Amino acid sequence: MEMDQIINHQTSKSQDSFLQGVKDCVPTLLGYLSIGFAAGVVGNTSGLSIAEIALMSALLYAGSGQFIAAGMIAASSSVSAIIFTIFFINLRHLLLSAALAPEVKRLTVWNNLVIGSQLTDETFGVAMNRVASGKALGYKWMLGLNITAYLNWLLATVAGGLLGKWIPNPEAFGLDFALPAMFIGLLVLQLYNSQKLFIHMIVALSSVLIVIGASYIFTGSIGIIVAAVLSSTIGVVFERWKSDGIS
């Protein structure tokens, strides 16, 4: 019995290690490489130097924000307009951090600050997939996950700035679908490990139906936001109804 406890302790420790976080980040790296490469290409065509592209990736570290910033720079937008636009686009990180907070509340304020500053949509997806599988989020594991993603993004954008001019048609290589494919993969893994498959399927079906219905009333982007809010609400209602029924 004592030997089993030692083995279980060592296994748990290895699963919470920095190296394990690096390994768990691997499925997202292809998406980071392709989208980061494209962000570097767009930055280059907007007139940014390689140093400026690298600095933007190091400090801003946001795919959608960097694409928009490059476009606004090319359009000679004001600095204040660029800052406010990127700020509002990245407000979703408040929701991501709030969802992740209960899983890391046992960590110190400094550890949470480091984790939060490096959190992205993709690392959030990997972390929540780990939570769905019943594993705790340790600081070392999160650090390995976030740093791997950060360095990969930085290298990909710099490579895009340097080499992008020799790839006139990135869509021919399927790079434009890499990010959706990565999120689909994360979703499948989360559904596979989830104990609430029925509720997730209800939310997914609701999202599809609401997007189709909303497309007749709103524009594409507004329809997606409406579907996200309503389907999430439906999921919460079903989850509470199911838990009340069991209790």
Tell me, what's the pLDDT at 215? 81
- Tell me the per-residue pLDDT of 13-49, one tens digit each, with 9 for 90 and over: 556 789 999 999 998 887 788 888 888 888 888 888 9
What is the rounded distance in angstroms from the CA atom of residue 43 to the CA atom of residue 67?
A: 7
CB contact at 8 A, 42 and 70: yes
Give the pLDDT of residue 180.
Answer: 66
Angle between helices 121-132 and 92-104 (to 10 degrees): 30
Q: Give 116-123 contacts, CB < 8 A, sequence gap 24+.
A: 118/61, 118/146, 118/147, 118/149, 118/150, 119/93, 119/146, 120/61, 120/62, 120/146, 120/149, 121/92, 121/96, 121/183, 122/28, 122/31, 122/32, 122/149, 122/182, 122/183, 122/186, 123/25, 123/28, 123/149
> What residues does each domain of the chain span?
13-195, 196-247
Helices 2-15 and 18-45 cross at an angle (nearest 10°) of 10
Say what the pTM is.
Answer: 0.69
pLDDT tens digits in sequence order for the chain, 247 residues long: 444 444 444 444 556 789 999 999 998 887 788 888 888 888 888 888 999 999 999 999 988 788 888 888 888 888 888 888 888 778 878 878 888 888 998 999 999 999 999 999 889 989 988 988 888 899 999 999 999 999 999 999 999 889 877 766 656 666 556 556 666 766 676 666 666 677 778 888 888 898 888 888 876 567 777 777 788 788 878 777 766 655 5
pLDDT at res. 58: 93
pLDDT digits (tens, 9 = 90+) for 60-92: 998 878 888 888 888 888 888 888 888 877 887
Find where tokens 């390995």 sit: 144
What are the C-alpha distances in Å from 137 to residues 11, 24, 95, 212? 15, 12, 18, 36
